[in-house]
Structures are given as structure tokens and as C-alpha cells.
Structure 1
Amino acid sequence: MAVTVETLEKLERKITLSLPVATIQNEVDARLKRLARSVKMDGFRPGKVPLSVVAQRYGYSVQYEVLNDKVGEAFAQAANEAQLRVAGQPRITEKEGAPEGQMSFDAVFEVFPEVKIGDLSTAEVEKLSAEVTESAIDKTVDILRKQRRTFAQRAQDAAAEDGDRVTVDFEGKIDGEPFQGGKAEDFQFLVGEGQMLKEFEDAVRGMKSGESKTFPLAFPEDYHGKDVAGKTADFLVTIKKIEAAHLPEVNEQLAKSLGITDGTVEGLRADIKKNLEREVKFRLLARNKAAVMDALVAKAELDLPNASVQAEIARLRDAARADLKARGLKDADKADIPEDVFRPQAERRVRLGLVVAELVRANDLQAKPEQLKAHVDELAASYEKPEDVVRWYFSDRQRLAEVEAVVVENNVTDYVLSQAKVNEKAVSFDELMGQA
């Protein structure tokens, strides 16, 4: 039968559905009979409950289920016949004045939009490039040495300096009153590495073992401890021990301790370079992909289905509540977070998803099997047993779907870069690694 689709506004559509009352009643009777064979009720043996009693108890809920199922089937069939791409769930309401023997329903819903992508050759994209320098390798070696440093107690008259590990007792008071978390004994930290607030480090730097000092400390307005944020405390700190750091030499022993097969410094630096180049590649890809997506969205024209935006807002809100819960906020799952906080991000995600899907469809940019395999191999390369990681990815459909999404995005990125006006820009290793 022909399906009449009424356009309400933009992406909103309406279909009127008709169902024979007899079809619904027959299904209700069939389900009640099946229920009567298994239902347990006081005063009756199992399977011997009269159908009239079962209908009295369960008739309303069974009829509700049948209506839901039958109307849902009718809507799916109608939408399929009209070749509609439905976004979200329809709002279904019963209509008055249906012909005798029929029930009528209005289904109001949204469809996915037509996506128009403009001329990509006029789009401008800044494409970054970066190289792993000897300086970057040197810094990484220093980090690895710091991770393996040892400490030895310094002389009694030695003053604490950057790089030293100090053991202290401290107590802080605000307006003469102690506060939670403001007192500790035998507390250790490394001077000059940002583990403590600057005023605390400045006070300790230059002190000797056995010395005490009182100093003011102003907590930042955004300090994680809300009770003290923005307030000034008076701290008494006593140095109990000062230990100097000893960093291992860059030699074969260090290389072997880091798992370098040939145990040479050259092998260590080559391994570091390979790992840094992999990280640089992924960071450049992420940054350039973001630039491509910005250019792509700017070239696209489409209306957004509100159902998709609302669903994305709900996902973002759930994620925010989960994050608050992980941070220890009480009743985080009930936190009243306004929708408007998430709307811009949700709208961008929905818009980008629709635009990317259209570009993939129109230009055959789906992930090919060999691309999936190559990407998984690359992800696995930095692990000790790459073959186990490859097997882990390919053993789970969900994990592979995540890889597939990344490969599709990479295909879209490459396609847009091949079409757009690309402005190449070289950045330093430090600049790239410092970018969020």
C-alpha cells in the first residue's frame, strides 16, 4: 500500500498508521492463552487458572505490549516503504474517529537530513609537520634517568636545592585553626618538580636538616581543596632529612636495564627515536585530522535532527556525571547539569558525524580489510608481544569497530587534504608535544 508522508517542518515528518482491531485482539488473546499455561495465582493449580481471571489481572498490560509491538511493526514497514531514514524514535499518538474496526495512530518523527558539501578545493587547511630531533631524544633519556634515580642522605649542613628529596613535618593553620589535610609527618617530596605549591617549595629551598620555618601560603582560587581555595594559611615546616639525587650514567648498563637487545647507547637512542616518531605521527595525525574536520564542517550545509542532538547531549551528560562520580562527588549520578552546557559540543558531533558519513558514502572511503590490519599492526608495534595485541583487537567486534572508525576518519582526512588548499607548517617537537 502507498504510504502518505506529511512534512511538518524541516526534518519533521508525520505518517498515519491504521491497524485492524481484530488483529490486535487476536494477538492479545493468543498471548493471554500462553500466559495462562504458566502463570501462578493463589487458589489455582499451575496451568489451571481460568482465562477470564488471567485477562482480568493481566489484560491491560498485555494489550499495551501488543499495541506497542504492532504499531512499532507498522511504523517500521511504512518508513521502509517510503524509503525514509528515521532519526530517533517516533512520537506515536492514537487518533480519534478511526473507521469502524480500525485503530489509527499518528507517528511524528525526524528524518536524517540531506547533506550538501561545498567545493572542497576552496577549503584551506593548515597541515603541521614535525621532526624528532637529537634534543628531543636527549630530553627523553633524561626522563628515563630520572625515573631510575637513587637518593643518598646529604651532610647535616647542606641546604635543600632543586632535585633533592626532602622529608618534612608540616602543619598549616587558617586564622589560627588547623584544617583537614593541612598536617603531615615524614612527608617526602622532590624540590623543584612542582609536586607542592610554589610558596611551599620556595620556603623549603635553602633550609637545612633540623631547621624549622613559618611562612604564609595563599591557596589558589581554583585549588582542588574547596575548603581552603582562595584562603591564606600559615605553615610551620621542619626539615627532617635531605637526600641528594643520583642519576644513572648513560651507558650500556642503563641500556640493558631498559630492555635494549644489543645493550648499547646507540641502540637505546635508536629505540627512543622510533617510539618518539610513532608518537609524533599519531599527534600530527590527530592535529591535522581536527583541522580537516573543521574545514569540512565549514563547507557543509544541513539541518540537524533534534533527536540525534538530544541523544548526544544525554551521552555527554552521562559521561560528565560518571567523571564527577569517579572524582568522589556524592550523588554525582543525580547532578543537575543544564543541557545548554553540552549543546554546542553535541551539535558539532552530530553535524560532523553526518558530514563524514556522507563524504564516506559518496567517495567510497570505507575502511578496507588491509587498512584495518595495518592500523592494528601499528598500534601493536610498541608492545612486547605485538601478535598478542593484534589477536586481542581482532577477537572482539567492538574493539575492531573502534579501529574501523579511526581508519575511516583517516581516509576522510587524506581525501580532504587531497582536495583542499593545504598550507604546510613546520612546528618544533616541543611545540607539538605541548599541544592539547
Structure 2
Amino acid sequence: MQVSVENTSALERRMTIAVPAERVETEVNKRLQQTARRAKVPGFRPGKVPMSVIRQRYEDAARQEAFGDLVQASFYEAVVEQKLNPAGAPAVEPKSFEKGKDLEYVAIFEVFPEFTVAGFDSIAVERLSAEVADADLDNMLEVLRKQNVRFEAADRAAQNEDQLNIDFVGKVDGEVFAGGSAKGTQLVLGSGRMIPGFEEGLVGAKAGEERVLNLTFPEDYQNLDLAGKTAEFTVTVNSVSEPKLPELTEEFFAQFGIKEATLEGFRTEVRKNMERELRQAIKTKIKNQVMDGLLAANPIEVPKALLENEVNRLRVQAVQQFGGNIKPEQLPAELFEEQAKRRVVLGLIVAEVVKQNELKPDEDRVREMIQEMASAYQEPEQVVAWYYKNDQQLNEVRSVVLEEQVVDTVLQKATVTDKSVSYEEAVKPAQAPAAD
């Protein structure tokens, strides 16, 4: 088999392959013999059809089938021989496939970039540390109470945080517009659900009162037909209800599945959850800084095939997350290209760090991570056992642990600055990393 390779770009290869005619004919004859054993031809018993008849009837189909199999097999042999690492399936251009002659074709494909990860010492990381103070715990208990708020009818004027039941009709230039009217809508004042001025305009209103609000839609309003326009809303307040926070009672604790349904037991469980969230938040921020540093220090070209596959994966995820009657391929690729490129490049870099440093998942850390996740459930032992019975889930945890080991490897040479901060600052989401 003859193979020649041309580098048409940094990653694209144009490989010409010639398969000897003898091999081609051997493959064609093999298929014809298989066909002869099962072919049904009028006037002949199965298995007794002369090869000349079989060849006359089935040789073209056998030759096409042999072509596909030979291309697949010879391409694999050629990339192994040439020590190439294709990133995706090749585009095949047949050049010659005549009876009695060599099979010749051109395969065009991209290869994975070859590079060495460097620049660990150029990466700067700010490592946060924080504790869950009693005040943080108290604030969290108030958040949980507010999440379980109930509303009771109030015979007074409405104020912020009250829930109003309203009917409203919106008009632009005297005409009712689509989506601008509703009946029996529940609205919490101060929630920011409505356009600026709407909720503020209902503060002080009482049940049975009608108010007319003259408002302007924001310039960046999602409905471009309404953006920047002035509208008149006629609002009828049907009822006013005030918020009532639940007391910290056994009944309240039971909603969270707390075994020890006491205030002390509840505080202990909430603190555990906050500490778990704190550890994860700090770990995530460190990881993001390391990954940003690796990206900046190691610019590499991305194979188009890998980028396209990642875009398609993100499209599917978007449809699954947001639903709707839409097919993934209907979503514009450009919506996902930056995110896809970042993920592909990081995947290549992380894989190379693993290879260069001969890293393998630390099974002790794998168990620790599973136990950490399981601790959030009522029966943690069952959760741990479930992970170790499901290879796919277990391997996903191993991948996360391996990524953490990559981060640790980088931190050994990076410039790390420790900083003590409050719990709130530590768990506050970091800004989304910029895509390259």
C-alpha cells in the first residue's frame, strides 16, 4: 500500500492512499463467494449458482461494498503507519476504482494539535479562605424563612413585599397591545417582575382601587416592538396580602428532612450545607483562575471537527434545558462557538497535562468526593454504594478528581496569594471567564 501525506495547513492533512489491485480483487471475490452461498436465482438451487452468473448479477454491488470497507481499513492502517492522530472522520475523494487497477483515493482530515503545556509559573491565583460565622448562619435562616413565606389578607394600603392580586390592561397609542393585559395576576411588590415604575406605582394602593400608570418600556426591552415606547396601564387591585414568615418550629424543620427537629439540630445541618457550599465555591474559583491561566499561556489551534462536535453538544443541551418545539440544528452555531472553543481547548490542554505528568485518578480522593456529595442526603451510605455500582457515574467522578489533580499540579508552580474574605464574598459567583 502506497501512502503520501501533504500538510495543507497547521492541522489539515491531505493523504493519498493506493491499495493494490490484488487486495481489491481479493475483497471483491470474498463478497461474491459469500453472496453465492445465499443467492436465490431462478433456475438454480441455492448454493449451486455458477460464479459467472453471480459475478454478472452482483459484482457491481460487491465492488462498491469492498470500496467502503477497504477505504475504512486502509485509512486506519495509513494513519497508524504515518503516526497521525485524526480529529474526526476524513472527507474521502475517490481517484481511481477500476477493475484490475489499484484503488486510489484522497483522504482529507484534521489532526490533533501537537504541543507541550507550559507557562505554569506565569499563572497567578488568588486563593480565598473563609468561615461560616454565626451571623452568616442567621442570615441563611432568614433566607430559608423568606423562601417559605405565606401571604395573608391585609386591610391596609399596599407596601413593598406585599403580594397583590391585580387585573391590568396596557395600551400603546391608545391601542391594547399583545401580552399587555392579564386578570388575577399575583404580583409581589419589589420583585422586579414588571417594567420600571409598574410596581412602584402600586405602593399605597388598597383593595378595590384602580390606578392608571403612564410608563416607558426600557430601550433594551426584549420585545423590540415595545422597546422605548410609552404605555398606559390601567390596574385594578383585587386584594392586598402581607408576608408572614414561618416560625422556626418542628413543623418548619420537618420540611427540610431534618432528623433532629430542634433549632440546634436545624442550625447544625444548615451550617454543614453552608460549609459544603463554601468549600465548593472556593475550589471552583481556584480552578477557573488556573484554567484561564492555562488558556492564556498555551494558545493552540482548534480542529474544526472537534469544535463542530462541541457546538452540536451545546445545542442539544440548550434544547434539553429550555425545551420548546425546536431542533438543536435550528439554533445558530455562532451562539455556542466561543463557549465550545474554550471547552475544546481546555480539554486538549488538560489531557496534555495529564499525559505529561502521568496523572491517574487518586482513588482515595474519588471516595472522599463521593462521600462529600452523599453527605447531603438522608441515607449517605446508600448513595456511596450506588456510585460504586454504576461505572458511568463513578468514571465521571474520577474525571472530576483527575481535573482537580491537574489544578494541584499547576498550583505547585503558579504564584498563589492567600486572602481571607467573608463567607458572602467567598460564595459570590465569580464573573464568567472570557472565551478565547
Aligned-partner Cα distance in 2 for 1:245–1:291: 42
Give, in angstroms, the shift of residue 229 of structure 1.
Answer: 4.1
| Aligned partner of 1:347 among 338, 341, 347 | 341
Contact 1:124–1:422 (CA under 8 A) maintained in structure 2: yes
Q: 1:130 maps to which residue?
A: 130
Structure 2 counterpart of 1:121: 121
Q: 1:411 aligns with which of 405, 416, 420?
A: 405
| Aligned equivalent of 1:296 | 294
Give the superposition deviation at 1:265. Answer: 1.6
Q: Tell me whether 1:358 sits opposite 2:356 in the alignment.
A: no
**Aligned residue number for residue 335 of structure 1:** 330
Q: CA deviation at 1:303?
A: 4.2
Cα offset for 1:15?
Answer: 3.9
Alpha-carbon distance, 1:141 to partner: 0.8
**1:367 paired to 2:365:** no
Per-residue deviation, 1:10: 2.7
Residues 34 and 230 of structure 1: is their aligned pair in 2 closer, same or farther, counting only changes over 3 Å?
farther
Matches within 5 A, 1:29-428: 29-31=29-31, 34=34, 60=60, 62-95=62-95, 101-155=101-155, 158-225=156-223, 227-300=225-298, 302-319=300-317, 322=319, 326=322, 328=324, 333=328, 335=330, 337=332, 339=334, 341-428=335-422
Deviation at 1:404, TM superposition (A): 2.4
Moved more, 141-150 or 95-104: 95-104
Percent identity, aligned pairs only, is: 38
Q: State the Cα deviation string for residues 187-215 of structure 1 (Å, max 9, x = none).
A: 22222233433422112211011111111
The one-letter code sitting in structure 2 at the alignment partner of 1:109 is: F
Superposed CA offset, 1:135-187 (max 9, x none): 322222112212333332222xx101122222122121222222333222222
Amino acid at match of 1:124: A
Structure 1 residue 21 displacement after superposition: 2.9
Post-superposition offset of 1:251: 4.5
Deviation digits for residues 275-300 of structure 1, max 9, x if unmatched?
A: 01111211221121010011122222
Q: TM-score, normalised to structure 2's length? A: 0.84
Unaligned runs of 5+ residues in structure 2 are: 431-436
Contact 2:125/2:416 (CA < 8 Å) preserved in 1?
yes
Distance 2:179 2:39 in 1: 60
Task: Determine if contact 1:116/1:301 at 8 Å carries over to the other structure.
Answer: no
8 A Cα contact 2:371 2:384, kept in partner = yes
CA contact (8 A) 2:165 2:240 kept: yes
State the SS of the aligned residue for 1:186: strand
Q: Deviations over 1:317-347 (max 9, x none)?
A: 5555x269x454x6554537254x5444333
What secondary structure is seen at the aligned counterpart in 2 of 1:405?
helix
Gaps of 5+ in 1: none
After superposing the two structures, state which structure 1 stretch, 396-405 or 182-191, moved more. 396-405
Q: How big is the shift at 1:385?
A: 2.4
Query: Shift in Å at residue 54 of structure 1?
Result: 7.8
Q: State the shift of 1:401 in Å.
A: 3.2
| Structure 1 residues 402 and 20, CA gap change in structure 2 (3 angstroms) | same
Once the two structures are overlaid, the 10-residue window that deviates more, 210-219 or 119-128, is 119-128
Q: Provide the C-alpha distance between the structure 1 equivalents of 2:246 and 2:21, rounded to a whole number of angstroms.
A: 85
- C-alpha offsets along residues 333-373 of structure 1, whole Å, 9 cap, x if unaligned? 4537254x544433332222221111111212221333322
Residues 349, 187 of structure 1: CA spacing in aligned structure 2 closer, same or farther, 3 A cutoff?
closer
SS at match of 1:116: coil
Report the Cα offset of residue 73 of structure 1.
0.9
Does residue 11 (structure 1) correspond to residue 11 (structure 2)? The answer is yes
Asked if structure 2 preserves the Cα contact closer than 8 Å seen for 1:130 and 1:432, the reply is: yes
1:187 to 1:13, Cα distance in 2 relative to 1, 3 A: closer
Rounded Cα–Cα distance in structure 2 between residues aligned with 1:285 and 1:165: 39
CA contact (8 A) 1:137 1:269 kept: yes
Separation in 2, partners of 1:277, 1:350: 32
1:111 & 1:332 partners in 2: Cα distance? 30
Pair 58,259 (structure 1): closer, same or farther in 2 beyond 3 Å: same
> Contact 1:175 / 1:233 at 8 angstroms: preserved in 2?
yes
Aligned residues of 1:39 and 1:49 also touching (Cα < 8 A) = no
- Contact (CA 8 Å) 1:256, 1:264: kept in 2 or not? no
- How far apart are 1:30 and its partner, in Å? 3.9
Aligned partners of 1:87 and 1:111 also within 8 Å: yes
Write the deviation string for residues 7-35 of structure 1: whole angstroms up to 9, x where unpaired.
Answer: 44433344442223343344334435545
Tell me, yes or no, if the aligned pair for 1:220 and 1:230 is still in contact at 8 Å.
Answer: yes
8 A Cα contact 1:38 1:46, kept in partner = no
Is the contact made by 1:167 and 1:188 (CA closer than 8 Å) also made in structure 2?
yes
- Residue 88 of structure 2 aligns to a residue whose secondary structure is strand
Alpha-carbon distance between aligned partners in 1 of 2:255 and 2:15, rounded to the nearest angstrom: 70
- Work out whether 1:24 is the aligned partner of 2:24: yes
**Aligned in 2, Cα 1:377/1:45: closer, same or farther, shift over 3 Å?**
farther
Q: 1:97 to 1:76 in 2, by over 3 A?
A: closer
Q: Give the match's secondary structure for 2:313.
A: helix
TM-score, normalised on structure 1? 0.84
Q: Could you tell me whether the CA contact under 8 Å between 1:167 and 1:241 is conserved in 2?
A: yes
**Which residue identity is paired with 1:137?**
L
CA–CA separation in structure 2 for the residues paired with 1:122 and 1:301: 14
Q: Displacement of 1:421 after TM fit? A: 0.8
Structure 2 letter corresponding to 1:88: G
For each residue in 1:63-101, what CA deviation from the matched residue of structure 2 results, as whole angstroms up to 9, or x when unmatched?
A: 333212112111212222333322222333334599964
Please say if residues 6 and 14 of structure 2, whose CA atoms lie closer than 8 Å, have aligned partners that are also in contact.
Answer: yes
